[in-house]
């Protein structure tokens, strides 16, 4: 299940900059995993050649440091999300299917400061919660609106 915390002010212990966490914690073996290869291909258009050697969508060689923040965040959540809360606002909506695939297998928590547009199917499958309370599309929208109305969101 995916647990959401709206606003960094509501979470004291989380990884704000996943790019730095990724740089310090990544392992070459991460990129040999078929799930990681799949989201790198679908989100960034990158292909893993061998461990940390990748090819971008234009066919140029790149390192793992050059993948998108969304893919870096997904890697961090995939490998360390059971133990660590990550800032999820570095991920775009194109990351949602992969984030939810991880959440279907493990309980994970992210901090959001933007409206992530989850398709209704994830609410129907009861995969999204706030503080352990399973959300519907309406209660998710209300929770986000309530956080925005509190004046805590960054502008």
Residue 51, Cα to own-chain centre: how many angstroms? 21
CA distance 149 to 115: 13
Q: Which two tokens stand for residue 43?
A: 């989100």
> What is the average pLDDT across 14-28?
97
CA distance 41 to 136: 31
> What is the average pLDDT across 4-30?
96
Q: Predicted confidence band at 32 (pLDDT cuts at 50, 70, 90)?
A: very high
Q: Which two tokens stand for residue 12?
A: 């004291």
Inform me whether the pLDDT recorded for 154 exceeds 60. Answer: no
Q: Predicted confidence band at 153 (pLDDT cuts at 50, 70, 90)?
A: low
**What pLDDT score was predicted for residue 27?**
97
**What pLDDT score was predicted for residue 144?**
96
**What pLDDT score was predicted for residue 48?**
97
- What are 95-134's pLDDT values in tens digits? 999 999 999 999 999 999 999 999 999 999 999 999 889 9
Residue 130 three-state SS: strand
* pTM listed for this prediction: 0.93
User: What percent of the chain lies above the pLDDT cut of 70?
Assistant: 97
Inform me whether the pLDDT recorded for 151 exceeds 90. Answer: no
12 and 117 Cβ atoms separated by less than 8 Å: no
CA distance 18 to 111: 12
C-alpha distances in angstroms, 103 versus 82, 96, 112?
10, 10, 15
The residue behind tokens 């890697």 is: 75
Inform me whether the pLDDT recorded for 155 exceeds 50. Answer: no
Q: Which residues, in sequence order, are CB contacts of 111 under 8 Å at separation 6+?
A: 4, 5, 6, 7, 8, 10, 11, 14, 85, 86, 87, 88, 89
């Amino acid at each position: 299940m995916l647990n959401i915390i709206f606003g960094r002010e509501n979470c004291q212990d989380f990884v704000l900059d996943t790019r730095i966490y990724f740089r310090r914690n990544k392992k070459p073996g991460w990129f040999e995993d078929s799930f990681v290869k799949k989201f790198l291909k679908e989100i960034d258009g990158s292909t893993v050649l061998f461990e940390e050697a990748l090819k971008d969508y234009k066919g140029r060689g790149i390192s793992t440091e050059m993948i998108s923040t969304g893919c870096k965040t997904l890697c961090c959540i995939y490998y360390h999300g059971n133990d660590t809360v990550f800032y999820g606002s570095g991920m775009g909506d194109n990351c949602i299917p992969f984030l939810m695939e991880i959440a279907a297998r493990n309980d994970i928590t992210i901090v959001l400061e933007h409206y992530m547009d989850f398709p209704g199917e994830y609410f129907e499958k009861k995969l999204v919660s706030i503080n352990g309370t399973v959300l519907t599309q309406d209660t998710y929208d209300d929770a986000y609106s309530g956080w925005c109305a509190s004046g805590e969101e960054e502008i």
